[in-house]
Amino acid sequence: MQIIIALDNMSFEKALESMILLGPFVDGFKINHTLIEHTSMFENYEGELFIDFKLWDTPTTVCSVVEMILEKGATMTTISTFNNEEVFRCLHQYAEDIKLLGVTYLTSWSAQEQYQITREMPHAMWRRNTERIRKYGFAGIICSAQDISDISQDSRCDGMLRICPGITFQSHNHGQSRTTNPRLAQDLGADCIIIGRSVTQSDDPVKTITEIKKTLDLVIPK
């Protein structure tokens, strides 16, 4: 299982410090708009650069943003599954250049909010959306670890990455409604976990990420 550290909403100085400290211990970093002008700090980094924009717009706009983040060195990005079919057809051309990840049911939503927004039960929503994104070459789907059992019931999801945010470790949930600890996410079948402030705001980030890797039985760099 991979570990990606979220650097969302950090200053450049704090993000750079976190990248230098944690880079040897993790598989990648996730950023949003706050660091988009500072992607040069990842120029020599060999892990994943996950630019998380949750794109939802016209085909021309979405695809032009994907081209821009490719130029920034991104290896992963998020696309809202609420986009129309034309957007997905346009995105298909980038499927071999970047890992396109579908995002639907945010981990900050409660079950009640999910139904109010999508008007679908979770299993029906996952089935419909995974069918769409698989057809257009998406590499995976963003989901809570709690959703993996629903997603895995659909054979069309076989081979798709389950990327799980909402991961906490010995800390509060920081605004997330559906959180999971790293070990439980691994046991439920996550391919990759995204963890942020539980590590970056801890007293000793290196010690914290080392403890997390121990709970996951992952190799720890010396």
Q: Per residue in 159-214, pLDDT tens?
A: 889 999 989 997 655 555 567 899 999 999 999 999 999 999 999 999 999 999 99
Q: What per-residue confidence (pLDDT) applies to 172? A: 55
**Residues 123-134: what's their mean pLDDT?**
75
pLDDT over 80 (residue 89): yes
Each residue's pLDDT tens digit, 63-74: 999 999 999 999
Residue 210: count of CB within 10 angstroms of its CB: 14
The pLDDT, as a whole number, for residue 183 is: 94
**Residue 34 backbone phi and psi in degrees, to 5:** -65, -20
Identify the pLDDT of residue 185.
94
| pTM, rounded to two decimals | 0.89
For residues 154 and 178, give the distance between their C-alpha atoms in angstroms, rounded to a whole number: 22
Whole-number Å distance between alpha carbons of 120 and 124: 6
Beta bridge partners of 142: 103, 163
pLDDT digits (tens, 9 = 90+) for 133-163: 888 999 999 988 888 887 777 666 778 899 9
Give the Å distances, CA to CA, from 73 to 50, 51, 82: 9, 9, 25
Concatenating the DSSP letter of every residue in the chain gives -EEEEE-TT--HHHHHHHHHHHGGGSSEEEE-GGGGGGGGGGTT--SEEEEEEEE-S-HHHHHHHHHHHHHTT-SEEEEETTS-HHHHHHHGGGTTTSEEEEE-S-TTS-HHHHHHHH-S-HHHHHHHHHHHHHHTT--EEE--GGGHHHHHTSGGGTT-EEEEEEE-SSS--TT-SS-B-HHHHHHHT-SEEEE-HHHHTSS-HHHHHHHHHHHTT-----
Span 1-29, average pLDDT: 96
Distance CA 83, CA 63 (A): 12
Confidence of residue 103 (pLDDT cuts 50, 70, 90): confident
Structure confidence at residue 105 (pLDDT)? 66
Domains assigned to the chain = 2-215 (3.20.20.70)
Alpha carbon distance 99, 215 (integer Å):
27
Q: What is the pLDDT of residues 21-62, one digit of tens each?
A: 999 999 999 999 999 999 999 999 999 999 999 999 999 999
